[in-house]
Structure 1
Amino acid sequence: MTVERPIPTGILGFPVTPMNEDLSINYEGFQKNIEFLIENGLNSIFIACGAGEFHAISEEEYEQLIIKAKEVVQNRVPIYTGVGGKITEALRQTKISAKHGVEGYLILPPYLIDPSQDGIFAYLKMIIKSTDLNAIVYQRDNCILTLDTLKKLAELPQLVGFKDGVGNIETNVEFTQALGNRLAWINGMPLAEVTMPTYLNIGFDTYSSAISNYIPFVSRQYLNALISGNHEKVKQIYEDVIFPIHNIRKQKKGYAVSLIKAGMNIVGLSVDTHVRPPIAPVEQQHYEALAKIIERAIEKYAEVPGGNVSSN
């Protein structure tokens, strides 16, 4: 019997893992983050991934995040978890994910080692086959695939998606041309809105949006304008929001996570700016610059800070 495997589409939500001042996890803030994303139309929720400080949470916290996510999601959207790092830890994470009945998992790169293609294939295959959950491969850092490797992985029915965080367009064209609609093609580049026009043209119609954690109405209007060919609206959003935020993001390593928390704090969500080392919090000057960008975004693209979209 063939297993029906719905794949993630549209804008994907990657909630953060809110921290208290003592760096313990604020689970209430975490649940409110997820609820905010669902209320604002995000199609899937990916917990304990890069934006969720996957590298810095314990196995016990990981399981608790899944439990808390399921409590608030209530089957309204699919839940995916992050798995990866050391193979032994990745396999424990897939088992925990399966135990709690999530939809699937995003496979993050292996720990430290820069492996050969047969090594990458063995690592990914072992993780993908460890459960019957959906699996998405994340190409970045120590996990760079060739077409032959991805083709072999695509023979596994559990593999439903490929997320790119590298930006090699030539390779991505090869992948999409060779595998077509066999996989969901996900743009996972830093601040994916920056590169989405190029990715959309080669078959990547799904992306993970960092800014959706605090200004989801901008992400939604941006994608709608891009798909409908409203080039003037896309240009306006680039100039008003995306490029200014991207310029701040490039100022310091670790802002891929801490800048999201800063944005959420600015709009009044239940998230402080605390992050676990080695990620550093956002500097005050950057926080203030981000606040001004968000204020302009709300004035121009939303009716109220909660995210009701205007008619622009």
Structure 2
Amino acid sequence: MAQNRQNRQIKGILGFPVAPFNTHDQLDHAALQENIQFLLDSGLDAIYVCAGAGEFQSLTRVEYETIVEMAVSLSGGKAPVFTGVGGNIAEALELARISQAKGADGYLILPPYLINAEQAGLYDYFKAIIESTELDAIIYQRDNAVLSLGTLRRLTELSQLIGLKDGVGTMETNVEFVQTLGARLSWVNGMPFAELTYPAYRPLGFNAYSSAISNYIPHISRLFYCAVQQNNQELLTELYTEVIFPINNIRKQRKGYAVALIKAGMEIMGLSVGARVRPPLIPVEPEHYKELEQALKRALDRFPVQSTPLEKEELHYGKSTR
């Protein structure tokens, strides 16, 4: 798909399906299908499987292949499907090859396992993965994989690289990246609970963000995204007050809630995902689960799910323009 790469801009709301596990700690295929189909039906702009929300670090190879196959099949070209690849270099290269063989559109390259490397080492790591297939590649900058402008500029010589997802939040660096490299890359806000920071990222040229809450209240994700695009400050203030801050305050209570709280929210909203996570993650504690139930009830009372889907460009404060 290299010939179409100039048209592969990353925009909008990016959905990250979870990996649902049953009571025997096995991948729940029916719940996985429900989760992916729900995101597709909600009109998200791309699907990213086997990444952070999908508990990449705990998946077996068979589970990884199953998830990718199902996502590609269900999408049917309606939305791009990206995978998460990373870890040690041998495993990352194998996952990249699997992603290509299973028909994914590209992959998000996660930080290498544990190692704090020099820029030369990070360049070699990302370069080896990016050029190992013809798939579109996005670098996820965070934790122990923070790039300098020089390193990122060198990596843009590889045509497969189409984007950078930032999970660090150093805004002066982001300004330098975008002002120097411009439209050569797509820029994605990948901060934890990206709705918190997307209004700050948007003026820099970041046209997409990964939305954790899209797994269970995607209509609010879309409402928020459109409010940012339209500079609707009144709606943004209400969304922050009524939805985003309350959920984020729960998320901050425990390490690992960035994933576990997604599953809890999905269960509360009636999706059959279950709330199980694999160690070292911990499930949401009962008192926090109750707080999330109350927060979602208040959110839905104020922003109910529309009876019919709204077009992305038609969302306005409290109603569509139909």
Judge same fold: TM > 0.5, yes or no. Answer: yes
1:7 Cα deviation (Å)?
2.7
Q: Cα deviations across residues 274-294 of structure 1 (Å, max 9, x unaligned)?
A: 000000000011111111111
Secondary structure class of the residue paired with 1:189: coil
CA contact under 8 A between 1:216 and 1:307: conserved in structure 2?
Answer: no
Per-residue Cα deviation, 1:55-87 (whole angstroms, up to 9, x for no partner): 000111111111121222122111000000110
Partner of 2:215: 213
1:143 equivalent among 142, 145, 163: 145
Aligned residue number for residue 3 of structure 1: 3
Residue aligning to 2:100 = 98
Q: 8 Å contact 1:14–1:47 — kept in the other structure?
A: yes
Return the alpha-carbon distance in structure 1 between the equivalents of residues 308 and 253 of structure 2.
28
Preserved contact between residue 10 and residue 207 of structure 2 (Cα < 8 Å): no
Does the 8 A contact of 2:12 with 2:208 survive in 1? yes
Q: Is the 8 A contact 1:298 1:304 kept in 2?
A: no
- Give the letter aligned to residue 258 of structure 1: A
Distance in 1, Cα, partners of 2:264 & 2:129:
34
CA deviation vs aligned residue, 1:114-171 (integer Å, no higher than 9, x gap)? 0000000000000000000000000001110000000000110000010000100010
1:249, distance to aligned residue in structure 2 (A): 0.6
TM-score (norm 2): 0.94
Q: Which residue of 2 aligns with 1:128?
A: 130
User: What displacement does 1:305 show?
Assistant: 9.0
Structure 2: distance between partners of 1:280 and 1:303: 30
SS for the counterpart of 2:4 is coil
How many angstroms apart in 2 are the aligned matches of 1:98 and 1:216? 28
46-55 or 296-305, which deviates more: 296-305
Aligned alpha-carbon RMSD (Å): 1.6
Query: 1:20 and 1:285, CA in 2 relative to 1: closer, same or farther beyond 3 A?
Result: same
Q: Show structure 1 runs of 5+ residues with no match.
A: none
- Inter-partner Cα distance in structure 1 for 2:305 and 2:98: 41
- Which residue does the alignment assign to 2:278? 276
**Pairing of 1:62-141 with structure 2 (within 5 A):** 62-141=64-143
Corresponding residue number in structure 2 for 1:301: 303
Q: Is contact 1:128–1:158 with CA below 8 Å preserved after alignment?
A: yes
Alpha-carbon distance between aligned partners in 1 of 2:225 and 2:70, rounded to the nearest angstrom: 30
* Maintained 8 Å contact 1:261/1:273: yes
Counterpart CA distance in 2 for 1:299 and 1:190 is 25
Residue matched to 2:190: 188
In the TM superposition, what is the alpha-carbon distance from 1:303 to its structure 2 partner?
3.9
Aligned length: 312
**TM-score, structure 1 normalization:** 0.97
Alignment of 1:27-66 (within 5 A): 27-66=29-68
Kept in 2, the 8 Å contact 1:298–1:305? The answer is no
Q: 1:246-275: per-residue Cα shift (whole Å, max 9, x none)?
A: 111111100010000000000000110000
